[in-house]
């Protein structure tokens, strides 16, 4: 194994139902003036609370801006040209993945201190060192990797618990996928410290969801901020963020993806997937195939039951994909970049066999 030189910046975060109390002690050393950038609904849900806590600090909010509709380089440039952005010592990014990714792409690139305020628990954007960039027409462009995540994430579980529960519902599928994809992608390899840490951590992307997932979703649907909700938020936002940093070496996400994501990205050829379904929802469906193809029948059973319990998909009908579209996808899935680094070549036959097993399982339930 070769010697290497590399730097790692881990996410720093605080979590709780009145955690904005920490804004002063965390942010004051970075300056005085704050620009808030967020999504419309996210700001409606959180701005008053943020303002009331900022009022207790030495910080001053000098502007509030909308991020735009998508995480695009055009939106990043538009924000960069705002005079209030140059005047601000720091930026607070507020919202879901696209909003936080836009603000990270803006500020981390400029070396301006940026803090994240996730308002939904759909993914790990608040804690990770990458922004998922889109084209102006809304289609996926590429991941933009950074050397570090935001300076700190303020995860207010009260605000998250009051948001629509469907985001956490889908986030659960994307989160347990991390464990299975990391462990399968790295199988039988002699991993160096960095990647080995990511793979070891990834088990925490699965366990809390099996344990608390169903109750957390139930509580979340009633707007309740409970221990179970907090455990699931931690898994989706924090653990996945840390794991994905360690699973992406030299900006190469070899261990950070796998068959479940290959299935998702292959299915995005059909607009219904991005228009009517959530990323993690379809990835959670894809995990069932990853496990069947891999022969992990006990794990398949656990996730199958969890999906059933949560209402995550276990059939093509639930994601509105026809038999013909699925059949067409079977030629594309094995060539997706997500399964380039995999312990074996995924084939059409393996996927057909897995579908047979899944159909059989659905008939039994």
Site for Zn ion in 174-193 (CB under 5 A): 174
Q: Which two tokens stand for residue 29?
A: 């050393």
Tokens 């899944």 found at = 358
Q: Which residue has the tokens 């996945």?
A: 240
The one segment of 95-103, 113-121, 171-179, 306-314 that binds Zn ion by CB under 5 A: 171-179
Instruction: Considering only the stretches 172-180, 210-218, 270-278, 322-330, report the one whose residues sit in contact with Zn ion under the rule CB under 5 A.
Output: 172-180
Distance of closest approach, residue 26 Cβ to Zn ion, in angstroms: 28
Minimum CB–partner distance for residue 175 and Zn ion (Å): 9
Ranked by CB distance to Zn ion, the top (closest) residue is 174
Least CB distance to Zn ion at residue 68 (A):
22
Half-sphere exposure in the Cβ direction for 58 (13 Å, CA): 9
Residue 175 or 314 having the CB closest to Zn ion: 175
State the nearest-atom distance from the C-beta of 174 to Zn ion, in Å. 4
Q: DSSP string covering 100-128, please?
A: HHHHHHHHHHHT--EEEEESS-SSSTTT-
- Residue with smaller CB distance to Zn ion, 113 or 280: 280
Would you say 229 and 289 are in contact if contact means Cβ atoms under 8 Å apart? no
CB of residue 88 vs Zn ion: minimum separation in angstroms?
31
Of 77-85, 102-110, 150-158, 169-177, the segment contacting Zn ion by CB under 5 A is: 169-177
CA 286 to CA 258: how far, in whole Å?
10
CB of 197 to Zn ion, least distance (A): 20
Q: Are 287 and 169 in contact (CB under 8 A)?
A: no
Q: Which 35-64 residues touch Zn ion, going by CB under 5 A?
A: none
Q: Using the minimum distance from each CB to Zn ion, give the nearer residue, 101 or 174.
A: 174
Phi/psi of residue 254, each to 5°?
Answer: -55, -40
Cβ(256)–Cβ(248) below 8 Å: yes
Closest CA to 312 of 213, 206, 234, 183: 213
Of residues 89 and 274, the one with the C-beta less far from Zn ion: 274
Q: How far is the CB of 264 from Zn ion (least distance, A)?
A: 7
For the four alpha carbons of 248, 252, 255 and 261, in that order, the dihedral sign comes to positive
Please count the other Cβ atoms lying within 10 Å of the Cβ belonging to residue 5. 4
Nearest to 103 by CA among 31, 20, 9, 39: 39
Site string for Zn ion, 128-167 (x = CB under 5 A): ----------------------------------------
Cβ proximity to Zn ion: between 139 and 362 the closer is 139
Which element (helix H / strand E) includes 15? strand 13-16
Query: Is 174 or 254 the residue whose CB approaches Zn ion more closely?
Result: 174
Binding mask 270-299 for Zn ion (x = CB under 5 A): ------------------------------
Q: What is the footprint of Zn ion within residues 60-119 (CB under 5 A)?
A: none
Q: Closest separation between CB of residue 122 and Zn ion, Å?
A: 10
- Match 């469906």 to its residue by tokens: 285
Three-class secondary structure of residue 211 per DSSP: helix
254 binds Zn ion (CB under 5 A): no
Binding site for Zn ion (CB under 5 A): 174
């Amino acid at each position: 194994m070769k010697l290497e030189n590399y730097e790692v910046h881990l996410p720093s975060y605080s979590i709780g139902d009145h955690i904005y109390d920490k804004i002063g002690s965390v942010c004051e050393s970075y300056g005085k003036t704050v620009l808030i950038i967020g999504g419309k609904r996210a700001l409606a849900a959180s701005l008053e609370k943020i303002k009331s806590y900022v009022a207790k600090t030495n910080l001053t909010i000098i502007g509030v801006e909308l991020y735009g509709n998508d995480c695009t380089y055009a939106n990043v440039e538009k924000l960069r040209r705002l005079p209030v952005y140059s005047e601000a010592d720091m930026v607070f990014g507020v919202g879901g993945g696209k909003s936080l990714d836009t603000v990270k792409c803006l500020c981390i690139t400029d070396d301006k201190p940026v803090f994240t305020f996730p308002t939904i628990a759909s993914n790990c954007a608040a804690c990770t060192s990458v922004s998922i960039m889109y084209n102006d027409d809304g289609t996926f462009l590429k991941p933009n990797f950074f050397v570090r995540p935001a300076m700190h994430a303020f995860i207010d579980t009260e605000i998250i618990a009051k948001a629509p529960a469907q985001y956490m519902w889908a986030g659960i599928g994307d989160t347990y996928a991390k464990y299975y994809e990391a462990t399968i992608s790295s199988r039988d390899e002699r991993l160096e410290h960095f990647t080995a840490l990511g793979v070891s951590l990834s088990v925490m992307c699965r366990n809390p969801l099996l344990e608390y997932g169903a109750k957390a979703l139930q509580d979340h649907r009633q707007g309740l901020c409970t221990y179970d909700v907090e455990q699931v938020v931690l898994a989706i936002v924090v653990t996945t963020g840390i794991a994905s940093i360690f699973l992406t070496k030299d900006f190469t996400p070899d261990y950070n993806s796998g068959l479940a994501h290959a299935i998702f990205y292959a299915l995005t050829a059909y607009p219904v997937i991005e228009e009517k379904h959530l990323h993690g929802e379809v990835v959670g469906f894809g995990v069932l195939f990853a496990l069947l193809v891999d022969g992990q029948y006990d794990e398949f059973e656990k996730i199958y039951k969890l999906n059933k319990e949560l209402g995550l998909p276990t059939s093509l009908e639930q994601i509105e994909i026809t038999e013909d579209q699925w059949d067409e996808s079977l030629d594309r899935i094995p060539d997706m970049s997500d399964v380039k680094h995999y312990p074996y070549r995924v084939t059409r036959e393996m996927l057909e066999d897995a579908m047979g097993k899944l159909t059989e399982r659905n008939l039994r339930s």
